[in-house]
Structure 1
Amino acid sequence: MLTSTFVHLQGIGPATERRLWQEGFLHWDRFLSETTVPGLSAARKSWYDRELTIAQTQLAAGDLRFFASRLHSRDHWRFYDVCRSRIIYLDIETTGATRDHGHVTVVGLHRGGRTITLVHGENLTTDRLQEEFDQGQLLVTFFGAGFDVPYLRARFPRLRLDLPHFDLCFAARRLGLSGGLKQIEREVGIARDPAIHGLDGWDAVRLWAQWNATGNRQALDLLLAYNRADVENLVPLAEWLQADLRLRFGPPPVGRAIVPRPLAETHS
């Protein structure tokens, strides 16, 4: 999808990008192979050629930050296919207080089919977090832009967390799905272990308080299982959402015409 993207070029918005797709420019290579493009002056075509050549170089080098700075956050789902093996799925638990007064209790991270859990007072440190984030190319969360990322930045001020970010909460809203993570999971058919069914974020706060006050290992184990489910269920949800986003807002498969959409949707 990224190599079909043109909205990172200055002066090209969703409507122009869609027109390019309709005219058969479904890949950067096709655009670069043509000497002229309808609706573009020779000077602008030459400028875009230079920009796309730079983009190809950056993509080959794995520098997705180059594109992240040029793409609206709503379009960061377009990174999904090019960095599947280096996606970091993130979910955190906290004490329930604001990020200025509370602290992070558990961080769940999933990458390459492996989940690790970092726990306050045990192995949750800035260096350990940085080690994990440095191995990623794309961050995937559910409402992480509004909660997880700013909370981590507040509690771990030395942490460099500047990956492109595919926030599933806003992607779901764009596709007409409402509610929190658990509700959307149910709507798309993602199941949870019965042992943690019905638990929510406030239960996570309660379980941590119980463990912290009494050393009840069962409370901690249940909290860790809850966090693991939260972060691992992001994987199938991201797959489902990016496939639907591509279907609705991406280019058509080769040989298939684009079905015109209402004007409001072409700018969503």
Structure 2
Amino acid sequence: MSGSDEAPSRGRCVPEARTGQSETDTTGDETLETGRPALPEEIRRQLERWGLRRGRELEFRPAPQKAVELSPSLEGRLVDTGTGRCFVVEERYPLKDVHGRFPLAAFLQEPVERWAALASAGPLPPLSPEGLTFLDIETTSLADGAGTYAFLVGLGRFEGEAFSLRQVFLRSPAEERAFLETVAETIRPGQGLVTFNGRGFDLPILANRYTLARLKPPWSGQAHLDLLLPARRLWRDRLVRCRLVHLEEHLLGVQRSFLDIPSWRIPSVYHDYLRGAPAEVLRPVFYHNAQDILSLVALATHLARFLRDPWGEGGASHGLEFYALGRLYEGQGDFPKAILAYRSALLLALPPRERERAWERLSLLLKREGRWAEALEIWQALLGRPGKPPLYALLELAKYHEHRSGDLAQAEMMVEQAIAGYGERPGGEDLVRRWQRLRRKRSAKGEERR
């Protein structure tokens, strides 16, 4: 398959018919509701061209927006904001469409609160799936300096029986104010934004442009859910990098078509367009942006299902995923789940560093929960392995025998073994002082010194 007439392939989101053509405006010559006679036809038409109509009050009415072509494969409409015009492409994807492993409708079946807290840097108001706007931008540079600006903003939202995608395009820097106003018009009705690295890239760049235009960022007061935050917490150890393209490949099952373009090439393509290249060169950029938006929906769906039941279908399948879940649950104070996650991780393949860390965290959580027999079993097993035992195992055994079993001789032996293997002050721990205290306790009890 090739060209713009490529047939929809299985598992790929395919838009419904474009919504570029607005409904035709009709105006009659009837007498107005006020009872006053209708205006002469010539005057009425002139007022309409200016965006005015007669009624209970004069109000602005944008002129009908006709479908226009940026290029043969990029049909959209020109939006007139009153301060200028910008080009907008709109697509509607049926909810049954599949992007990667999930139909779009799957996102609506998952409660937002299951995953939203992980993606937010602060407290959240109640959120609904339909109230979220998925945002991704393409910029004139991959750096976030003052001279960088967005030229394409993709905005997706669930509306009725479809997922609506609106791509607002900056044909010329002279149209930036209208461009920003059109983006704002789409964002304002929502409850919050969903981005990928939006906190570090997308929103700061847009906020800077709104400030320069003396406009208020339209997301003020809304929630911001940055999916990079939970992606790093859950999959940073398993994946080499947590870029969206890597998550698509390893988690979401997304395969982009030949139309896609690498992110690093996008700024140069736009600059070519500004220098006179045909608008057709932008087709891969629009495709790339649309795929990014759809992948945000797929990633949020995967995250929600992953957290719903990590031990069930669609949950964790790798030791490093369970290890990450253990750290997550431990940070949330859910120690029983953290213990279960660490145990699950240790049953699967783990790199040596993470395996040692999992044993340590598991044993300390068992101790915290008062499950001393299980913690003791781990520490003793670690001492029985070939090589130097972990320092924490020696110290925890010393504490256990000093304060719980009362076997001061065993406690002293553990401290001596720790000094022999790690020195007198490993990590700031004063082992000599601990050893001297144990010797004094033994003397006070009349125990013989070895």
Counterpart check, 1:213 vs 2:275: yes
- Output the CA distance in 2 between the equivalents of 1:213 and 1:171: 40
Task: Spell out, residue by residue over 1:201-224, the C-alpha distance to the aligned partner (whole angstroms, 9 max, x if none).
Answer: 211112212222123222111211
Structure 1's unaligned 5+ residue stretches are: 1-67, 251-256
Question: Cα 1:75–1:196, aligned 2, differ >3 Å: closer, same or farther?
Answer: farther
Counterpart amino acid of 1:153? A
Question: SS where residue 198 of structure 2 aligns?
Answer: coil
Runs of 4+ aligned structure 1 residues displaced above 6 Å come to none
- Output the CA distance in 2 between the equivalents of 1:206 and 1:170: 29
Does the Cα contact within 8 Å between 1:99 and 1:155 map onto a contact in 2? no
Q: Which structure's residues are more often helix, by fraction? A: 1
Question: Cα 1:72–1:91, aligned 2, differ >3 Å: closer, same or farther?
Answer: closer
Q: Percent identity?
A: 26
CA radius of gyration, larger in:
2
Counterpart amino acid of 1:144? G
- Output the CA distance in 2 between the equivalents of 1:100 and 1:207: 20
Task: Spell out, residue by residue over 1:130-155, the C-alpha distance to the aligned partner (whole angstroms, 9 max, x if none).
Answer: 21111211211110000000000001
1:93 maps to which residue? 138
- Output the CA distance in 1 between the equivalents of 2:297 and 2:121: 18
1:109 maps to which residue? 155
TM-score by length of 1: 0.61
Does the Cα contact within 8 Å between 1:126 and 1:156 map onto a contact in 2? yes
Question: SS where residue 175 of structure 1 aligns?
Answer: helix
Question: Structure 1 residue 187: deviation in Å?
Answer: 0.9
1:184 maps to which residue? 247
Question: Cα 1:189–1:79, aligned 2, differ >3 Å: closer, same or farther?
Answer: farther
Q: For structure 1, which segment, 121-130 or 164-173, has the greater mean C-alpha deviation from structure 2 after superposition?
A: 121-130
1:204 to 257, 262, 266: 266
- Output the CA distance in 1 between the equivalents of 2:273 and 2:290: 17
Counterpart check, 1:259 vs 2:340: no
Pairing of 1:123-134 with structure 2 (within 5 A):
125-134=179-188
Does the Cα contact within 8 Å between 1:79 and 1:138 map onto a contact in 2? no
Counterpart amino acid of 2:218? R
Task: Spell out, residue by residue over 1:39-82, the C-alpha distance to the aligned partner (whole angstroms, 9 max, x if none).
Answer: xxxxxxxxxxxxxxxxxxxxxxxxxxxxx9x9993577x879x4
2:190 maps to which residue? 136
- Output the CA distance in 1 between the equivalents of 2:135 and 2:145: 17
Task: Spell out, residue by residue over 1:4-55, the C-alpha distance to the aligned partner (whole angstroms, 9 max, x if none).
Answer: xxxxxxxxxxxxxxxxxxxxxxxxxxxxxxxxxxxxxxxxxxxxxxxxxxxx
Does the Cα contact within 8 Å between 1:91 and 1:148 map onto a contact in 2? yes
- Output the CA distance in 1 between the equivalents of 2:297 and 2:119: 22
Counterpart amino acid of 1:167? D
Question: Cα 1:190–1:101, aligned 2, differ >3 Å: closer, same or farther?
Answer: same
Question: Structure 1 residue 170: deviation in Å?
Answer: 1.2
Question: SS where residue 197 of structure 2 aligns?
Answer: coil
Q: Which gives a bigger RCO, structure 1 or 2 (Cα 8 Å, sep 6+)? A: 1
Question: SS where residue 196 of structure 1 aligns?
Answer: coil
Counterpart amino acid of 2:256? D
Task: Spell out, residue by residue over 1:103-124, the C-alpha distance to the aligned partner (whole angstroms, 9 max, x if none).
Answer: 2110001001000100113685
Question: Cα 1:218–1:117, aligned 2, differ >3 Å: closer, same or farther?
Answer: same
TM-score by length of 2: 0.38
Question: SS where residue 154 of structure 1 aligns?
Answer: helix
- Output the CA distance in 2 between the equivalents of 1:218 and 1:142: 27
Counterpart check, 1:193 vs 2:256: yes
Counterpart check, 1:73 vs 2:120: yes
Question: Cα 1:192–1:208, aligned 2, differ >3 Å: closer, same or farther?
Answer: farther
Question: Structure 1 residue 99: deviation in Å?
Answer: 3.9
2:298 to 236, 240, 256: 236
- Output the CA distance in 2 between the equivalents of 1:130 and 1:75: 23
- Output the CA distance in 1 between the equivalents of 2:276 and 2:227: 36
Question: SS where residue 193 of structure 1 aligns?
Answer: coil
1:160 maps to which residue? 218
Question: Structure 1 residue 126: deviation in Å?
Answer: 2.5
- Output the CA distance in 2 between the equivalents of 1:200 and 1:75: 33
Question: Cα 1:98–1:72, aligned 2, differ >3 Å: closer, same or farther?
Answer: closer
Question: SS where residue 160 of structure 1 aligns?
Answer: coil
- Output the CA distance in 2 between the equivalents of 1:245 and 1:138: 21
Q: For structure 1, which segment, 175-184 or 110-119, has the greater mean C-alpha deviation from structure 2 after superposition?
A: 175-184
- Output the CA distance in 2 between the equivalents of 1:167 and 1:148: 10
Does the Cα contact within 8 Å between 2:151 and 2:170 map onto a contact in 1? yes
Question: Cα 1:174–1:145, aligned 2, differ >3 Å: closer, same or farther?
Answer: same
2:232 maps to which residue? 173
- Output the CA distance in 1 between the equivalents of 2:144 and 2:121: 26
Question: SS where residue 156 of structure 1 aligns?
Answer: helix
Question: Cα 1:101–1:260, aligned 2, differ >3 Å: closer, same or farther?
Answer: closer
